[in-house]
Each structure stands twice: as structure tokens, then as C-alpha cells.
């Protein structure tokens, strides 16, 4: 497989602003790694049901018992910007 990586699109999806140099370097590095995946990509593997837990354990659900955790102050302590008890960010447009 020789898929070329569309670094601009991938960076957009990952919310990373890359400068020209970074784009070039990363495109080169990633292409090299992706090339290394070719052998795996081409393997013929059975299509069994996948368990995301390495040991295949199944989910244990938690009881619906509410409790208080962070105080309002603790929740906002690390905020880069806040006002009137809310987190503040530049305008989000869509």
C-alpha cells in the first residue's frame, strides 16, 4: 500500500496548526512509518469479533448513586480564563 498522507487534512482533523517546515518533515517521517505498515496491511487475517479489552472482559456497570466531587473553585482553578463562574474562550463560531 502506498497511500500518500494528506498532511494538511490530517492536521486539521487533529486541531494542530503546522508551519511549512513541520508539514514537510512530518509528511516525510509519517510516510516512512506508513510504508513500514505495508506488510501488516496486506496480511490476510480472520474477521473475528474484536474485544477492545485485551483480556476480553465485559463491562461491569456502576450503580446510579450520585456524590459530590470537585468544588466549583477546584473545577475552575486551572482555567486559563474564566468569568462569572464560567470558562471563557474566544468566540466559537459554529
By CB under 8 A, the residues from 15 to 54 that bind another protein are 15-18, 22, 25-26, 29-30, 32-34, 36-37, 39-41, 43, 45-54
Contact between 3 and another protein (CB under 8 A)? yes
Alpha-carbon distance of 93 to 67, in angstroms, equals: 35
Please tell me the count of residues contacting another protein according to CB under 8 A: 73
Q: What is the 8-class DSSP label of residue 83? A: E
Q: Using an 8 Å Cβ cutoff, are 34 and 3 in contact? A: yes
Q: Which of 2, 20, 24, 72 binds another protein (CB under 8 A)?
A: 72
Q: What is the 8-class DSSP label of residue 94? A: -
Contact between 85 and another protein (CB under 8 A)? yes
Least distance CB 20 / another protein (angstroms): 13
Contact between 2 and another protein (CB under 8 A)? no
Instruction: Give the burial class of 82: count Cβ atoms within 10 A of its Cβ; 0-12 exposed, 13-18 middle, 19 or more buried.
Output: middle
Amino acid at each position: 500500500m502506498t497511500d500518500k498522507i494528506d498532511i494538511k487534512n490530517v492536521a486539521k482533523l487533529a486541531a494542530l496548526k503546522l508551519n511549512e517546515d513541520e508539514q514537510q518533515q512530518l509528511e516525510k517521517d509519517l510516510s516512512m512509518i506508513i510504508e513500514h505498515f505495508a506488510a501488516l496491511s496486506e496480511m490476510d487475517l480472520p474477521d473475528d469479533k474484536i474485544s477492545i479489552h485485551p483480556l476480553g472482559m465485559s463491562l461491569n456497570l456502576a450503580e446510579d448513586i450520585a456524590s459530590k466531587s470537585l468544588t466549583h473553585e477546584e473545577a475552575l482553578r486551572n482555567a486559563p480564563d474564566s468569568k462569572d463562574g464560567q470558562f471563557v474562550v474566544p468566540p466559537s463560531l459554529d
